[in-house]
Each structure stands twice: as structure tokens, then as C-alpha cells.
Chains A and B, each alone.
Chain A
Amino acid sequence: AQKVTQAQTEISVVEKEDVTLDCVYETRDTTYYLFWYKQPPSGELVFLIRRNSFDEQNEISGRYSWNFQKSTSSFNFTITASQVVDSAVYFCALSAFSSGSARQLTFGSGTQLTVLP
């Protein structure tokens, strides 16, 4: 079985603050992919990043950065200098491949981020 835990249900920050969204995952597979998606109030999920289990390099994209640590099974997401437009629900997801079993894609329960002006 696989599982994704986003312990932070809701976070509020003031604009320009940095904020980190936590994601902890569980899987017995050695090959897997981790994702972050953003869901603004309009509803559709927007892809942010994909990371495979063999690539532990951290990634930075503008104000966004991701810290992947296999030793702690975590894939945390940091927004630097947050803006009001960053307000959304953020989902972490795991896609793993178990031999002899069906493919699975598991989402965390999401973190509601509110950035106050």
C-alpha cells in the first residue's frame, strides 16, 4: 500500500513571507514519481513539478523550490516571498509501480494556503 500525508490542513501567511508545505510519503516500491499540483479557486489542478525516485536533486523554479529527501521520505515545497495569487490548495501525489499489481496514483489530502495582503 502507498500513502501520502500532508499534515498541514491550512496555512495562513502574510504576503512576502516564505512558506513550506510538507509532504511525507510511504511506498515499498523503489521506482516511483512524486508530484505537486496547485488547485486555485477555479477548480482545475495545475501541475507544478514531477520528481522520480532516482533523482534527489533539489529544484528551484522562480519563487518555488522543492526539497526531496528519500532518507525521510519527504518531498517538501517552499514558496519564497509569497504572493496573494499563491492562495490555493496544494496537493502532493505519489505514483508507484508494484510488480504484478495495478498502477496506483495517490494524492495527499491537500494543504489550503492563504496569503494575506
Chain B
Amino acid sequence: ETGVTQTPRHLVMGMTNKKSLKCEQHLGHNAMYWYKQSAKKPLELMFVYSLEERVENNSVPSRFSPECPNSSHLFLHLHTLQPEDSALYLCASSQGEGFLGNEQFFGPGTRLTVL
């Protein structure tokens, strides 16, 4: 596979469930990102990982927990979510240690619905 892949593509979960989103990049990049895209709202940067360490955390609620075990994989662990967390969650990667001036390559996203 090439580029940035995300699984699952669609996820429906209840507020008491625990689930995880997975992102994998095959581009040899060293920075990875999670974004949230809600209807009618600008894209929101949630987390930035550079060389497997979190370097940005933009006031995201603790019910979202990221994990970056290596430079190719990024997870977003979800627990006790709220209906307003329903959104498209996008993963991206870039070369340059989390430098936000670099071009980012995006995955297709996971469409999350919280019931």
C-alpha cells in the first residue's frame, strides 16, 4: 500500500464503548497528525507527533487518547464519547519533525458516528 491509510473507514459506537482508530503511513515520514472535521466547522488540529513524541495537544478532551508506537503508526483511542464527537477524523503525515510549514499527506478519514 502507498500513502496514508486509515481504518476503519466508518465506525458507529455508543457512548459507553471503547474503540480505536488506526492510521498508517508508508511514506517514511517522521511526523503524524490527527484532525477532526465536523460539519460546518473548520478543520481542527487535535494532536501532533514528531519522532514518536507528542508535540502538540490542542485542548482536546481526555476521552480522546492518542498513541504513536513508531513513526509509521498512529492510533486514536476513544472512550465515553459524546454525540457531538461525531465527525470525520483525518490522519496526516509529513517529513520534518512536526514542522507545520511542511506539506502534509492525508488519509481518507474515519467517519465516526456516536449514538
Q: What is the interface of chain A, defined by CB distance below 8 A to chain B?
A: 4, 33, 35, 37, 42-47, 50, 52, 91, 93, 95, 97, 102-110
Secondary structure dominating the interface of A: strand
Taking the closest CB of chain B, its distance from the CB of A62, in whole angstroms, is 18
Most buried by A among B99, B104, B105: B104
**Residue of B41, B56, B90, B101 touching A33 (CB-CB under 8 A):** B101
Q: Which 6 A-B pairs have the closest CB atoms?
A: A107-B43, A95-B100, A33-B101, A45-B106, A43-B109, A44-B106
Among residues of B, the one whose C-beta sits closest to the C-beta of A42 is B108
Secondary structure dominating the interface of B: loop
Q: What is the interface of chain B, defined by CB distance below 8 A to chain A?
A: 4, 40-45, 48, 55-56, 88, 90, 92, 98-109
- Asked, given contacts A43-B109, A44-B108, A47-B103, whether A91 binds B90 with beta carbons under 8 Å apart, the answer is no
Taking the closest CB of chain B, its distance from the CB of A46, in whole angstroms, is 7
Contact present for A102 and B105 (CB under 8 Å): no
Taking the closest CB of chain B, its distance from the CB of A92, in whole angstroms, is 10
Contact present for A103 and B100 (CB under 8 Å): yes
Contact present for B42 and A108 (CB under 8 Å): yes
- Asked, given contacts A105-B45, A107-B43, whether A43 binds B101 with beta carbons under 8 Å apart, the answer is no
Interchain Cβ contacts under 8 Å between A and B, 8 examples: A35-B103, A44-B106, A45-B104, A97-B101, A103-B99, A104-B100, A107-B43, A108-B42
